[in-house]
Amino acid sequence: MDPKLTKIFCDFQVEPRQYLCADICHVIVLREKRSRHIKFFGYTIIAITALIAIVPTSISLVHQLGQSGFGQYASLVVSDAGALTGYWKQFAVTLAESIPGVSLALVLGIILILGWSARNAIQQTKPLSTIRRYA
């Protein structure tokens, strides 16, 4: 690298206007805040929808558990555990078969979505400390 050319090019530099850095940070903060507002709104909608959806799906799950006899089978564990020891494999299969799989998966899925969207919504409310003066 030619040191003379380096000096010439370095002397060639001009200073940007005084508040350019501040303006850039300000614009980024505004954009980030807007993006966070939109995300917060979106995640909240999803969380509320999940919360509403969990009611009928839970009711349906409970109803199906009652119809399938899961409750009666499960109560045997408490009331007559000794009698089950010899037949625990068959009992386990019968118990598993009585679980309404689809309804259970639906309820668990909705709970996961509720947790995920609620967590993300809360994350959008954190302050933007890395651009401290403008956050």
Residues that bind other proteins (CB under 8 A): 1-2, 4-6, 8-17, 20-21, 23-25, 27-28, 31-32, 126, 128-133
**Cβ distance to other proteins smaller for residue 19 or 86:** 19
* C-beta closer to other proteins: residue 30 or 102: 30
CB of 22 to other proteins, least distance (A): 9
Contacts of 57 (CB under 8 A, 6+ apart): 103, 106, 107, 110
For other proteins, the closer CB: 12 or 78: 12
Question: CB-wise, 51 or 131, nearer to other proteins?
Answer: 131
11 vs 49: CA distance, rounded Å: 61
Q: How far is the CB of 40 from other proteins (least distance, A)?
A: 17
Shortest Å, Cβ 132 to other proteins? 5
DSSP codes of every residue in 3-65: HHHHHHHHHT--PPPTTHHHHHHHHHHHHHHHHHHHHHHHHHHHHHHHHHHHHHHHHHHHHHH
